[in-house]
Amino acid sequence: MERVVPPPDSSAPIYFYYPPGVGEDAVPESHGIFVRDRPGKYVWTVKTYGHLSKLGFPCRLTDRLPDAGIVVSHREFFANSMIPNRRQLFVCAVADFQRHPFAQLHLVQNGRDPLLTHPSPAWPAAFMPMWPETGLIPRDPARGNTFANVCYFGLPTRLAPQLRSEQFAARLREHGFSFRIVSRDRWNDYSDTDAVLAVRSFAPVSFHKFPATKLYNSWVAGVPALLGRESAYEAERRNEYDYFEVRDAEEVLQTLIRLRDDPNLRAAVERNCAARAPGVSAERTTENWAEFLKTVAVPAWWNWQRRSDASRVTFQVARAVRYARFVGADLAMRGVSAVRKRMRAMAP
């Protein structure tokens, strides 16, 4: 998409859209900040709006699709049948879904999403890190050198089966560790957590649609993270203290023992967490959003309006064809991948 520079005095109406009749109780007052325990589709829309409006950034929250302006929404809120008119620019937050056939811009939550690693002028996309957990309570400094509580903050079904077993929990108990899966209503509370464990699978799967949120939260909480081999984590890694990659249940145990027995290592991790946390804070994420909207979305909106009717029709036809091809290829790949993941997950 050709870039143009909007007039110096230009402004663009920016809306965060969610459809009517879906989770009305999830929407805070005009300047409220989003509460915890809400689905990701509201995090991308309502929570983002809340932080931007608190900063004073000009934007609106609406449950009616505006006729003109920049419309930011989650992929679940953008039906495939929705096609932008000549005055609308759709910014689709893909999250862990797939691209929208007609959105002019896409936002991805993984720095190694295929929309970024295999860029195409036909599918402009940008990386936007996921928000850290709302109201996160860091590890209590009063715990001092205690290192015993290992926690998983996430859906139980998304934890590697080897780590959900009683056999694994018993093995940790033998070495003085306590492992628990934290209930969703306490995903913000790291006060008694000494280490985070989060592995979807020990198989070499990139999970390129998922974010690095668990890593971000561990930095903010000030605790070491033991994570699986995922592209989102790899994209964020800067040094050996950012997180510990574990390849099987035995390596999980050995890494925990190493951390427990080496207070200097834990201190280095804690210092590193303090250094990395500001970069993934709500304040920094708000700045990232404002910068994207001003420097990318607004020029794209002006550019879209300058295109001829014939050019916009060509865009829509070309996108429909490309999307059909993408869906066909994706379905075939998912079928093969599902079989491989199942076989690998069953490995000891």
DSSP 25-87: GG---TTPPPPSS--HHHIIIIIHHHHHHHHT---EEESS--SSEEEEEEGGGS-TT----TT
Residue 42: pLDDT band (50, 70, 90) is confident
Give mean pLDDT, residues 304-317.
96
Q: How far apart are alpha carbons 216 and 132 in whole angstroms? A: 6
In the prediction, which pLDDT does 34 show?
A: 54
Residue range(s) occupied by CATH 3.40.50.2000 in the chain: 141-280
3-state secondary structure of 128: coil
pLDDT for position 99: 94
What is the reported pLDDT for 31? 41
Specify the pLDDT at position 327: 87
CB atoms within 10 A of CB 302: 17
Q: Could you tell me if 226 and 209 are in contact, meaning their C-beta atoms sit under 8 angstroms apart? A: no
Beta-bridge partners for 51:
none
Percent of the chain with pLDDT over 70: 86
Looking at the predicted structure, is the pLDDT value of residue 341 above 60? no
pLDDT-derived band of residue 37, with 50, 70 and 90 as boundaries? low
Q: What is the pLDDT of residue 339?
A: 53
Region 141-280: CATH code? 3.40.50.2000
Place of tokens 């996430």: 154
In angstroms, rounded to a whole number, what is the distance separating the alpha carbons of residues 91 and 72? 5
Phi/psi at 260 (nearest 5 deg)? -65, -40
**Lowest-confidence region among 44-58, 203-217, 324-338:** 324-338
The mean of the pLDDT values for the chain is 89
Structure tokens at 297: 């979305």
- Chain centroid to CA 34: how far? 16
